Amino acid sequence: MLKKRVIVCLDVKDGRTTKGVKFQNNVDIGDPVEMAKEYYRQGVDELVFYDIIASARGRGPILDLISKVASQVFIPFCVGGGINTVEDIRSTILAGAEKVSLNSPAVKNPELITEGARIFGNQCIVLGMDVRKDPTKPSGYGTTIHGGRVDTGFDALEWAKKGVSLGAGEIVLNSMDADGMKTGYDIELTRMIAEAVPVPVIASGGGGTPQHMADVLTEGKADAALIASMVHTMGYTVDGIKRDLNNLSVPVRLN
């Protein structure tokens, strides 16, 4: 049976790790390089690094910081934020990332997914989706960009399928409604997308306990669960979470 992955997310703003609720009221919680090093020591399977203001400010990725983080971790490392061109993808991978997450730029220029996948391989291109409930959409969910500030008008299910058809090799599916709430992932949303696409789906938004993670990895059919608050501020460790998941009969890589 394929092992489920535990992924830690570092949201970065002005060079510091930050955490908010539903993308609001962010507070500084530390140095991303030191935090990445510690989570790697604890046995995290992958790291995701999001520059949460790059797209809104219209600038590219912060390559020096990406390089510093990459030098501390020897696991898959995904970077998102400000990656607007094929050159941005290339420079981010050269700085040490294995994957890039395309969210706002993919909506504005879907061809970037195709070009990125053609040049660097599907496994390098992750479709980032910030999704919220929208009863006007056929699936019941719509997509947003620029950190949830702009509604794309896209139905979440249709955009997921389109992104994969264009070449995305993975999806990070973030529930805006659950983000930072620590009350559990959106199981219905995650299962709907996971059943509709032939690529791995990473559940994001709402993780507060190992049971929440177990639920989305089993009932939600996610391939991985992304966490932030649990390890940043709630006292959990990655290795402790993995032991709990193992005890809940979820197959994970134990140290």
Q: Give catalytic residues, as residue numbers.
A: 11, 130
Q: Which two tokens stand for residue 251?
A: 């197959």
Structure-block tokens of residue 213:
């993670």
Nearest to 171 by CA among 195, 207, 135: 195
Task: Write out the two tokens for 194.
Answer: 């996971």
Q: Which two tokens stand for residue 122?
A: 């599907």
* 3-class state of residue 101 by DSSP: strand
Q: Exposure string (b/e) for 198-234, b if CB count within 10 Å is 16 or more?
A: ebbbbbbbbbbbbebbbbbbeebbbbbbbbbbbbbee
Side-chain-side CA neighbours of 116 within 13 Å: the count stands at: 35
| CA 220 distance to own-chain centroid | 16
